[in-house]
Amino acid sequence: MILLEHYEKENTNLGINMEEKLKKRIEELIKEEIVIVQYDSNWPKMFEDEAAFLRGKLPQNIVKRIEHFGSTAIPGLSAKPIIDILVEVTSLDETKKQIVPILEAEGYEYFWRPAFGDYGSPYYAWFIKRNSEGKRTHHIHMVETDSELWDRLYFRDYLRQFPDEAKCYNELKKLLSIKHPNDRVKYTKEKSDFILSVTKKAKEYYKSQRLDNVF
């Protein structure tokens, strides 16, 4: 329950009833069914539409880069039908003060969460958007420019460029979704070794490509 612990630290004035409601809500989030579906060609447009909405709704002096990442950003890859969006913000403090109220008023769910599962600090602002049926459609991850979450773009670009790696990831996700259909924590943890390994390989590859272009 790491997410709950850090949310409670961020909100020290929560009453007992509010804490219990929050605990129950997070437990429900973790247990929501994991469904892997075939790649949908509408996913890029869903990202573009959401990015345009965020740019039009949120303070321009806070929001900078907006990137589509995760499995839905990789053509042909099966995925949970949830668009992951990485947003660069100039200040997380200002994000909490100015952006959180705006998105909560629009129906987004907000959590202050650790960037790497059970590993604690650093934290970032995370939002869930749902459709009229209550199903998740978007995850919005707001981080500052020095966040290690930007390394996810190396993983994205590498899988876009190397279909064999994407195929391996595809099979792993399908296997884990069957193994842990209602445990998002275990599902995510058991993908981490693959993601870290490919990300390391991708960083080395793109670094060598840049050096080759220099010389």
Tens digits of residue pLDDT in 19-74? 677 677 777 777 788 889 999 999 999 999 999 999 999 999 999 999 999 999 99
**Taking all residues of the chain, what is their mean pLDDT, rounded to a whole number?**
88
pLDDT in tens, 41-56: 999 999 999 999 999 9
Strands 136-143 and 123-130: antiparallel
pLDDT, position 2: 41
Residues 110, 37, 153, CA angle at the centre, nearest 5°?
A: 60
pLDDT of residue 211: 66
Measured from the Cβ of residue 79, the count of other Cβ atoms closer than 10 Å reads 22
Instruction: Summarize pLDDT for 152-200 with one digit per residue, the tens.
Output: 999 999 999 999 999 999 999 999 999 998 888 899 889 999 999 999 9
CATH of 32-214, one of 3.20.20.70, 3.30.930.10, 3.40.640.10, 3.30.460.10: 3.30.460.10
pLDDT surpassing 80 at residue 18: no
Percent residues over pLDDT 70 in the chain: 87
Q: What integer pLDDT is reported at residue 10 of this predicted model?
A: 52
pLDDT digit string, tens, across residues 138-165:
999 999 999 999 999 999 999 999 999 9
Reply yes or no on whether the pLDDT at 214 is more than 80. Answer: no
Cβ contact 84:73 at 8 Å: yes
pLDDT of residue 119: 56
User: In the structure encoding, which two tokens stand for residue 42, read together?
Assistant: 């509408």
Is pTM beyond 0.75 here? yes
> What pLDDT, in 10s, does the model give residues 112-128?
988 876 556 789 999 99
Q: Quick: pLDDT tens for 3-17.
A: 444 444 455 454 556
